[in-house]
Structures are given as structure tokens and as C-alpha cells.
Chain A
Amino acid sequence: DAGVTQSPTHLIKTRGQHVTLRCSPISGHKSVSWYQQVLGQGPQFIFQYYEKEERGRGNFPDRFSARQFPNYSSELNVNALLLGDSALYLCASSLKRTDTQYFGPGTRLTVL
């Protein structure tokens, strides 16, 4: 069975641009969560979506938004990119909201 997939693998943007990252959960999983991992740190929670509704949000500015589609895939959008947004963005899926989260390989975003 395929695991969590994310696209693109790498992305380079300049300050002020916006970016869209995509995630496909493990088949049958209905919950998707997004995390930001800055170099040298542990992942930080951004959002959780379950059954297409936002169920939780971390301490991130409104420039960050996300959505979940009827097939449970998800997009993370970041507007007005800052240098500090450079990070590995990880998507995790779980069967239900409180189940074990399984992570994808991540998208490496570099903001110049």
C-alpha cells in the first residue's frame, strides 16, 4: 500500500510569493495534519483537518491556510512568503482524528 505522498519534493520561491503544497493521505485515512520543521528543530503543528473540516490550528499567522478535499487529499497554502518560512513541510495522515499519524517524505521549501 502507498504511504503518504507529498508534492512537490523541493520548491524554491522568492519573498512575497505564494506557494501551494499538496498531500495525499494513506488510502482510507480521513485525517490530515500539517507540520513545519525548521532546520535543527522538531516539527511544529500547523493544521489538522478531519472529514474536510479544520479541527485544529497551531500558532501560525493567517498567511497559512489549508483545505481538505472530498477524496481527503489536502493543500497547504502560504501567502506573502518570508525568509523564515524556509523549512521542511510535513504532512501526516491518520484513520481518525486521534489515531497514530503517519508522515510523508515532506516538501522542502526554500525562500530566497
Chain B
Amino acid sequence: AQSVTQPDIHITVSEGASLELRCNYSYGATPYLFWYVQSPGQGLQLLLKYFSGDTLVQGIKGFEAEFKRSQSSFNLRKPSVHWSDAAEYFCAVGGEYGGATNKLIFGTGTLLAVQP
């Protein structure tokens, strides 16, 4: 079955500290992987994506993520967190699977709080 697991429901970090949000996936074909961010009451903004090629991908706002096929993981990182990064972060997997449509399967999200 296709699924995405975000083990951390809630994370608090200090401003200026580094951040890593975990994401594990289960998918029957080569996955397309995404990280989206959602501010309260807002839609989803794409941070970065992995389709193929270099396993370390750079995104907006200083975020990066690394695809590790052996661990079925796509963890999101940022070296120095800013107060404006406080939001909910969603990992998603998608792509053509068995000819099926390109639906995105989302994790349950990680809520990031940033303390001064």
C-alpha cells in the first residue's frame, strides 16, 4: 500500500537552530516526493520536489531534502530556522503507479513551533 509517515506530530526548535523533519514513504514504483508548507488557514505552498537525479534537492526559503532509497526516506532540513518558518509541514508522494492517476498521498503533517 502507498503511504507516507511523518513520525513527529509536533516539533519545537529555537530560532537559529537547525531543523530536520522526518518523512518515510511506501510506494510501489519510483516515487515523486514533495514537501509542502501550510500556514494556519492557508493552502499548501511547495517547498521542494524530487523526481529523479541528484538525491539532494534544494528548495525555497533555504530548505533542502535528501532522498534515500535504501531507507525509503525524504527528510527535510534547514540549517538555521527563522521565526517565520513556524507552520505545518507535509510530506507527500505521488507519480504514475500502475497507470493510476497522479494523486498525492500526504502524511499527517509536522507542526513546527519556533521559540525566540
The chain A residues found within 8 Å of chain B, CB to CB, are 4, 31, 33, 35, 40-45, 48, 55-56, 58, 90, 92, 94, 97-106, 108
Contacts and interface: CB of A to CB of B under 8 A. Distances in A.
Interface stretch (B12-20, B77-85, B96-104): B96-104
Q: How large is the interface on B (under 10, 10 to 19, 20 to 34, 35 or more residues)?
A: 20 to 34
Given A98-B95, A98-B96, A100-B49, A48 B102 contact: yes
Contact of A103 (B44, B101, B102, B107): B44
B53 interface: no
B108 A41 contact: yes
B90 interface: yes
B90 A43 contact: yes
B41 interface: yes
Given A56-B101, A108-B41, A102 B46 contact: yes
Interface of B: 4, 32, 34, 36, 41-46, 49, 90, 92, 94-96, 100-109
A43 B102 contact: no
Contacts of A35: 104
A42 B43 contact: no
A80 B49 CA distance: 38
B62 to A, nearest CB: 20
Given A42-B4, A106-B43, 12 more contacts: A31-B102, A33-B103, A43-B44, A45-B105, A48-B101, A98-B96, A99-B102, A101-B104, A102-B46, A103-B45, A105-B43, A108-B41
Contact of B102 (A40, A41, A98): A98
Nearest to B109: A42
15 contacts: A31-B102, A41-B108, A42-B90, A42-B92, A42-B109, A43-B104, A45-B103, A48-B103, A90-B44, A92-B44, A97-B101, A97-B102, A100-B34, A101-B104, A105-B43
